[in-house]
A and B are shown apart, each in its own frame.
Chain A
Amino acid sequence: MPEDKRQSNDGPQADPNGLGSAPPVVEPFSVVSRDICIEGQLEGSENLVIDGRVKGRIQSQGDVVITASGNVEAVIVARNITIQGRVNGNVEALQAVEIQQQGILIGDCRARSIQIREGARFEGRSDILT
């Protein structure tokens, strides 16, 4: 999706998904809510926020965020990957992987840049893409 279509964030269009309580966003995003479990394959071109559980495989041309309540047992391939919750599986980002405070990654990590914050846990091999 072209970058220019994702930039509007003013007025009523600030919440393109109609999620009500969600704060304003820059780009459209999809959400797996806290009490939802998905087992299978997710493939997409948009950003994804995971508050719930996913088991299987996630492939996105956008960014993937696993929030503090998120629990993922899957291979993740995306543009950027941010881990605030728990991920058990290999992750690969075209750009960056960030494991934030309290975030857990058990699996191998490949990306152009990898950031592991204080308090995060990472068990696996890391590979920096050139």
Chain B
Amino acid sequence: MPFWKRKPKGAAEASIVKEGTTPSDKTLFGPGWRLKGRVYGKGQVVFQSTFEGELEIQGGMTVDTSATVKGMFRSEEIHIRGALEGVLEGSRMVVLEKSARVDGEVVTPRLQMDGGAHLNGSIAMASPGTVLKGQRK
């Protein structure tokens, strides 16, 4: 029986695909996933997985502690807790939390680096509201 139909003990409702449910605007890839390619659109994207490719999101992106991502990343607000290699462009802000390990280039008008975060590469401070290189207008 598929996972969304199973009813565990004590659970009133086990379905995740209930009729009338409004889909969340959060995209999430758990630790068991490996992705290769291009991700684009709007909303929030959370990686706990491995990803290699290009991402362009109108909204936010989070690289969680278990995630390893590589490529070109463009979003409004970017939070890094895991490992990232490549180019990171946050048109509003970039936050490197204490467990972040970044190898590459960061371009943003506002950068927050917490104690313990590692950044090996370059930082370019852009003017707020600047349309970043390659970003769709």
Could you tell me if A44 and B30 are in contact, using CB atoms closer than 8 angstroms? yes
Could you tell me if A26 and B4 are in contact, using CB atoms closer than 8 angstroms? yes
Known contacts A9-B8, A37-B39, A41-B35; A25/B26 CB under 8 A: no
The tally of CB-CB contacts under 8 A between chains A and B is 152
Which residue of chain B has its CB nearest to the CB of A20? Answer: B24
Could you tell me if B17 and A67 are in contact, using CB atoms closer than 8 angstroms? yes
Could you tell me if B24 and A44 are in contact, using CB atoms closer than 8 angstroms? no
Across the interface, which residues of A come within 8 angstroms of B16, CB to CB? Answer: 22-23, 25, 29, 49, 65
Q: How extensive is the interface on chain B, given as a class?
A: 35 or more
Could you tell me if A33 and B23 are in contact, using CB atoms closer than 8 angstroms? yes
How distant is A120 from chain B, measured CB to nearest CB, in Å? 15
Could you tell me if A9 and B32 are in contact, using CB atoms closer than 8 angstroms? no
Task: Give Cα A27 to B8, complex, Å.
Answer: 10
Across the interface, which residues of B come within 8 angstroms of A84, CB to CB? Answer: 17
Across the interface, which residues of A come within 8 angstroms of B24, CB to CB? Answer: 19-22, 31, 33, 51
Task: Give Cα A20 to B22, complex, Å.
Answer: 12
Could you tell me if A24 and B11 are in contact, using CB atoms closer than 8 angstroms? yes
Could you tell me if B14 and A39 are in contact, using CB atoms closer than 8 angstroms? no
B-contacting residues, A37-71, CB 8 Å: 37-49, 51-52, 56, 62-63, 65, 67, 69
Known contacts A6-B3, A33-B25, A36-B27; A24/B37 CB under 8 A: no
11 intermolecular pairs with C-beta atoms under 8 Å apart: A9-B14, A24-B13, A30-B29, A34-B43, A37-B41, A38-B38, A40-B36, A40-B37, A40-B38, A51-B23, A67-B23
Interface of A with B (CB < 8 Å)? 1, 6-10, 14, 17, 19-49, 51-52, 56, 62-63, 65, 67, 69, 79-80, 82, 84, 95-96, 98
Instruction: List the 5 closest A-B pairs by CB distance, nearest first.
Output: A40-B37, A44-B33, A45-B32, A51-B23, A36-B41
Starting from the known contacts A44-B32, A45-B32, A47-B4, 20 additional A-B residue pairs (CB-CB under 8 Å) come to A7-B8, A9-B8, A10-B10, A14-B11, A21-B21, A22-B24, A25-B16, A30-B29, A30-B30, A30-B49, A33-B43, A33-B44, A35-B43, A36-B40, A36-B43, A47-B3, A49-B16, A62-B3, A62-B32, A67-B17
